[in-house]
Each structure stands twice: as structure tokens, then as C-alpha cells.
Amino acid sequence: MRNNLFLRHAMSTASLTAITLNLTFWMIPLLLVSVARITLPFAYIRHCCNMGIEAIYRSAAAFDSWWIKHVLGIHLDIQGELPRRDRNLIIICNHRSWFDILVLHSAIIRHSPIIRFLIKHQLVYVPILGWICLALDFPRLYRAPDPEHRARDHRAIADATSSLNDYPTALLSFAEGTRYTPEKHKAQQSPWPHLLKPKPGGLRIMLEHAEDSAILDITLVYPQEDITFWMCLAGTLPYVKVYLDYFEPGDIEDAAEWLAQRWWVKESLITGA
């Protein structure tokens, strides 16, 4: 028993180290290209920088995908049609752990545009990860109730959605706003047994500013409920199910109502897994 526990912790440590070194290696060229894109305001140079950023992004994600499949031995059971690189996406997804990001990249990044995440503002202060978020210009949200911060969040989401029209990109929102925990679920009194309540504000803003973007609703289903990021890094999961469902902006008349309907679909997929 102790040997198994030691091996799991050792595997988690090795995985975290490999992923961190991978991010660190690619962070340096990413920052250089990002600075060039900002300081050299010429269309051709910006185009070249965008291509460079995409290549760096995909290279970093490819290593993580390889590690998940070949080292951790996790099978991704993908249900649904894979996306296209040439069309903008607005992605909505449930959120169980930090491992969700690695799963999402492994599942779709070879076929989709690069993914920009709506992130909490505090994340930019995390070494390496926060710098990468800044370099990739991830929209940073305060998620505070006061009018000033709500206005900033609105502007950040609107600007990020409008920029989808400049270069093929996927903009992803974990609509629950935070990772699921039993404590958060109880505090919210969520009607969905395995999900937190989705927040419609971000989707509503994105729909207002999206000109030609498909809506991709992704449901991640893990084989057990009590998963943690550290547990996933140990390779203890045999599989993760990934469900892909597409919609057009015109299919959504009311963001709150649509999210509630989709959350019941997600709940049925999780319960039936």
C-alpha cells in the first residue's frame, strides 16, 4: 500500500515537472514573438507573429498531449465531430479540475484554432503560467460584484470576442466560473448533482459580439467523482469522456435558458457514464 502511494506521488511529481519544464521552454520564444507583435505595428509582421505564436502554442500542447496518452496512459473517448481550424469557436465547458485544460488540448487542439481562456485576474500573478496568459492575451476577469469590475469584465469579454474576427481563434469559458467541489456545490444549492450553476453573463456578451463563430459545448466526464489535479497527474485515470456538441449563435435566444438546458444534458451524460 505504501509503495503504491509512493509511486503515485512520484508519478504526479514527474508529470508536473515535465509539464512545467515544457511551458518554461516555450515561454521564452512566446514572449519574444508577443513583444514583437506589440511593438512592430505592421500588418505583415503581425501576421508572421500570429503564425509564430500559433506554432509555439501547438508545440507546447503537443507535448502535453503526448504525455497524457503515452506516459499516463489515459484514453480520451471523444464523442462528436472534431472542430475545424478555419472557423472561430466559442467554447463552453464544465470544470472539474486544472486537468481539464490538458484534456481539452489533447482532445481538440490538433483540429481547432488555438484556445484563449477566460481566466481569473489573479492568475496572471502565478509564475510562468501567468506570464503565458499575458503573452497570449487571455481575457482577465475580476468576477467581482461591484459595477466598476463588472464593467471591466464586460469590456474584456467583448474585446476578446470581437478579436475573433481578426484571426481564427477559439474563446473558451468555464461557465461555472470555478472548479467544482462538494463545498461549492452545497453553498450554491445547485440543482445539478454533479455541476455548479452556470453563469450566463459571459456567454451573453460573447453572443452579442460574435459575427461568425460556432458554439461548441464540451462536456468532460471523468470515471470517478473525487478526482483531483494531483490524482490525474499520477495516471490513475483509465479514460476521460469528451462530448462535443455544436450550435449556431442563432440557436440561442436566451443565454441563461440555453445554459440550463445544456447543463441538464451534461448531468445526464455524467450520471450515465
Q: What is the pLDDT of residue 153?
A: 77
Q: What's the mean pLDDT in 232-251?
A: 94
C-alpha distances (whole Å) from 97 to each of 124, 168, 221 are 18, 27, 11
Q: What is the pLDDT of residue 151?
A: 83
Q: What digits encode the pLDDT tens for the residues 3-35?
A: 688 899 999 999 999 999 999 999 999 999 988
Region of poorest pLDDT, from 11-15, 64-68, 125-129, 165-169: 165-169
Q: What is the pLDDT of residue 137?
A: 80
Judging by DSSP bridges, how do beta strands 119-120 and 140-141 pair with one another? parallel
3-class state of residue 239 by DSSP = strand
Q: What is the pLDDT of residue 146?
A: 76
User: Residue 242: pLDDT band by 50, 70, 90 thresholds?
Assistant: very high
